[in-house]
């Protein structure tokens, strides 16, 4: 039997043992659809790994019930079952992206406390079990250098105090000093963002925490608007960036239609099957760079139907990309002097090379529109 199947069964057996009533060997074999001998073998593996389990003689004196030791339950830092504790350990991979963020040290400390109640061999067995779980870290923002800003931001949020920040604007490529009223701190796509009223811009802005250069919590307090709802504020955006609300209709080819239908892209999304087999998606979102990137990510499998301005912008992006990827022709003089394939020299009177209109090299100035927050 593959090792993965054994680990899965042993994890399921651990959950059965952790039930309030425990489980007998016979019942476990029936539930897991294996032999009693296999269950006994798995129990020995769990015992040898140091899991706090034992067999309690049954009332009939024949069938013993396997349970979790009470002293272990009392030693837990939280009121968790053994199965819940084990699940937390194995799900650590799901919080892996946070490890690259400012929350990393706190998450690591919490898991160290949880792991401290398990034996070394038990942790090793759980590590084997979670080999079936993985998270790709690529793309998570590297925010560790500003980790000390988060506790101060949390204090300002709770106490409703003004904050003076020095912020680097990605688009302007410059730093500015601002006083803000912090409303909310949110985690999105590997990064932390502060939603605050900016006194400089006289409006609510979103600040990427990794671009904070300095931060001071002031003594002055403020009162946030009673009608401000952070969820409503963010719902207009496809991601974190905001803009003018617009209805976007996109037709996705059958090759990706099923994938699109299986996901929640935005609370306003609506699906409609088209007669040619494509899937039409309608969104009411902010027409920002995030929307354009999302659509471009599907290449020829996505066609913008509405609005026309977005369709034209994507057409221009696609055309610029195609021109950039087109092989460049050699200048005429270089082409004449280039060696012939057979190693010989060009013949006198040979046909002149001709170039189509507008041929030659072109320089395209690309606009860097990497994701940013407040300007």
In DSSP notation, 141-156 reads ---GGGTTHHHHHHHH
Higher pLDDT, 309 or 171: 309
Write down the pLDDT at residue 63.
Answer: 75
Higher pLDDT, 321 or 117: 321
Write down the pLDDT at residue 367.
Answer: 36
Write down the pLDDT at residue 333.
Answer: 59
Q: What is the DSSP string of 181-225?
A: EEEEEEEETTEEEEEEEETTTTEEEEEEGGGEEEEEEEEEE----
Higher pLDDT, 221 or 239: 221
Residue listed under structure tokens 């190693």: 343
Computed over every residue of the chain, the mean pLDDT equals 75
Write down the pLDDT at residue 255.
Answer: 93
Segment among 97-101, 104-108, 280-284, 336-340 with least mean pLDDT: 97-101
Angle formed at CA 330 by CA 328 and CA 336, multiple of 5 degrees = 160
5-15 pLDDT, tens per residue? 677 788 789 88
Does pLDDT of 169 surpass 90? no
Higher pLDDT, 240 or 348: 240
Predicted TM-score (pTM) of the model is: 0.44
Structural domains present in the chain: 1-139 (1.10.10), 144-226 (2.30.30.520), 245-325 (3.30.70)
Q: Which two tokens stand for residue 30?
A: 């029936």
CB 274, CB 251: distance < 8 Å: yes
The phi and psi torsions of 317 (rounded to 5 degrees) equal -60, -45
DSSP 347: P
Write down the pLDDT at residue 352.
Answer: 41
Banded pLDDT at 182 (limits 50, 70, 90): very high
Q: Name which of 239, 369, 352 is nearest 313 in CA terms.
A: 369
Write down the pLDDT at residue 76.
Answer: 67
Mean pLDDT for 181-189 is 81
Highest mean pLDDT among 32-41, 98-107, 229-238: 32-41
Strands lying side by side in the sheet with 212-221: 203-208, 191-198, 174-188, 161-169, 212-221
Higher pLDDT, 359 or 264: 264
Write down the pLDDT at residue 146.
Answer: 60
Task: Tell me which long-range contacts 334-337 makes (C-beta under 8 A, separation of at least 24).
Answer: none
Write down the pLDDT at residue 197.
Answer: 94
Write down the pLDDT at residue 279.
Answer: 95
Q: Name which of 20, 126, 115 is nearest 68 in CA terms.
A: 20
Mean pLDDT for 214-228 is 91
Banded pLDDT at 61 (limits 50, 70, 90): low
d(CA 289, CA 99): 27
Q: Using only the alpha carbons of the chain, give its radius of gyration.
A: 31
Q: Which two tokens stand for residue 327?
A: 């092989």
Write down the pLDDT at residue 93.
Answer: 54
For residue 8, list its beta bridge partners.
Answer: none
Higher pLDDT, 368 or 16: 16
Does pLDDT of 148 surpass 90? no
CB 217, CB 152: distance < 8 Å: yes
Tell me the angle at which helices 36-48 and 3-17 cross, rounded to the nearest 10 degrees. Answer: 80
């Amino acid at each position: 039997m593959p090792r993965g199947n054994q680990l899965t069964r042993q994890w399921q057996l651990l959950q059965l043992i952790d039930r309030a009533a425990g489980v007998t060997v016979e019942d476990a074999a029936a539930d897991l659809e294996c032999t009693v001998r296999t269950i006994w073998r798995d129990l020995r593996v769990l015992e040898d790994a140091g899991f706090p389990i034992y067999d309690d003689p049954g009332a009939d004196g024949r069938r013993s019930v396997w349970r979790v030791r009470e002293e272990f339950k009392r030693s837990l830092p939280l009121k968790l079952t053994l199965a819940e504790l084990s699940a937390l350990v194995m799900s650590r991979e799901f919080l892996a992206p946070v490890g690259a963020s400012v929350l990393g040290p706190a998450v690591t400390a919490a898991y160290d406390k949880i792991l401290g109640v398990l034996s070394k061999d038990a942790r090793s067995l759980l590590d084997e079990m979670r080999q079936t779980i993985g998270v790709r870290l690529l793309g998570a923002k590297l925010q560790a250098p500003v980790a000390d800003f988060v506790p101060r931001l949390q204090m300002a949020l709770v106490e409703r105090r003004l904050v003076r920040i020095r912020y680097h604007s990605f688009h302007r490529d410059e730093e500015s000093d601002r006083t803000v009223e912090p409303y909310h701190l949110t985690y999105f796509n590997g990064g932390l963002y502060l939603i605050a009223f900016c006194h400089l811009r006289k409006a609510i802005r979103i600040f990427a925490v990794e671009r904070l250069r300095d931060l001071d919590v002031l003594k002055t307090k403020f009162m946030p608007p009673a009608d401000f709802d952070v969820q409503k504020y963010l719902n207009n955006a496809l991601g974190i960036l905001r803009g003018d609300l617009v209805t976007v209709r996109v037709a996705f080819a059958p090759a990706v239609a099923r994938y699109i239908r299986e996901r929640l892209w935005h609370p306003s999304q609506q699906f409609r099957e088209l007669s040619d087999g494509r899937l039409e998606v309608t969104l009411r979102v902010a027409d920002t760079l995030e929307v354009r990137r999302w659509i471009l990510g599907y290449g020829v499998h996505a066609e913008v139907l509405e609005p026309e301005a977005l369709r034209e912008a994507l057409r221009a992006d696609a055309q610029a990309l195609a021109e950039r990827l087109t092989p460049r022709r050699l200048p005429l003089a270089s082409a004449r002097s280039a060696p012939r394939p057979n190693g010989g020299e060009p013949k006198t009177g040979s046909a002149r090379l001709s170039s189509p209109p507008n041929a030659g090299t072109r320089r395209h100035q690309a606009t860097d529109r990497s994701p940013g927050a407040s300007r």
